[in-house]
Structure 1
Amino acid sequence: MSKITISRDSGYADRVRKYKVICNGEEVAQVGNGETIEFETPPGEKEVYLKIDWCRSNKVTVSVPPGSEVKLNGGSSLRGGKVLLAVFYVLFMPSKYLWLQTN
């Protein structure tokens, strides 16, 4: 079995809430503020993203080789002064509220 590891950065926005980890359309885990989680998955191509309420991150497609690990990093796009734009992100850019990238 292969696995995917996701590390969430620590930030002010959503500090006390967990993000859902969606892999190929199904919730497979939740990741808290500053937390790292891992989950097992069959090898192959996977589409992964983070979600909170009706907002989400960009979708990342990764190829998971047999018996290996893929590492991803994610978090909130609301940093510094952008925290004041939270309503704008929620209403007009819900797919950019969170971010996810390969490590």
Structure 2
Amino acid sequence: MAKIIVKRNSQWINKIRDIGIFINGELVGAIKDGKTQQYEVKSGEHEIYAKIDWCGSQKILIDAADNEIITIKLTGFKYGSWFLPIFLGIMLIYSLGKYVLNFNMSFLIVFGIVMFLYLLYFLTLGRNSYLTLKLLK
């Protein structure tokens, strides 16, 4: 038997949600924020991916030898740690400028829309790129 170790990074954007780990299309467990899980598999080829709600990761193929230990790093939304604070900051500056200081801050709406569309991409068409699995050597 081989071991697959999955190490999940700690990220505040997905902190309270568990991420499901799938091996050969079967849910084998869920991993909490910042935790490490290990799964025993038979030697041979295995397809691994992760899912959180309707979003997921790319599928990776591994060829596990007997008694081999394979380590995989699992990360969440690539820009999640800075995305929301910047988006909220832009909207705050826009609101302060327009309603308190009476400045025309319409150009900031463009940045907000671009960031919203970027997030929307990862929640729709790019949903299988929301999470990232990386094989560690």
Q: Which residue of 2 aligns with 1:80?
A: 81
1:90 matches 2:123: yes
Q: Which runs of 5+ in 2 are unaligned?
A: 88-117
CA-to-aligned-CA distance 1:53-81 (integer Å, 9 cap, x gap): 11111111111100121110011124334
The two structures, once aligned, show a CA RMSD in angstroms of 1.4
CA distance in 2, matches of 1:38, 1:86: 31
Counterpart AA for 1:50: A
> Which structure would you say has the larger Rg?
2
Which structure shows the higher helix fraction?
A: 2
Q: Which residue of 2 aligns with 1:19?
A: 19
SS in 1 for 2:119: helix
Query: Could you tell me how far 1:9 is from its partner in structure 2?
Result: 0.3
CA contact (8 A) 2:12 2:81 kept: no
- Greater than 4 Å deviation, 4+ residue runs: none
Instruction: State the TM-score, normalized to the length of structure 1.
Output: 0.91
Q: Which runs of 5+ in 1 are unaligned?
A: none
CA distance in 1, matches of 2:41, 2:58: 20
Aligned residue pair count: 103
Instruction: State the TM-score, normalized to the length of structure 2.
Output: 0.70
Share of identical aligned residues, percent? Answer: 26
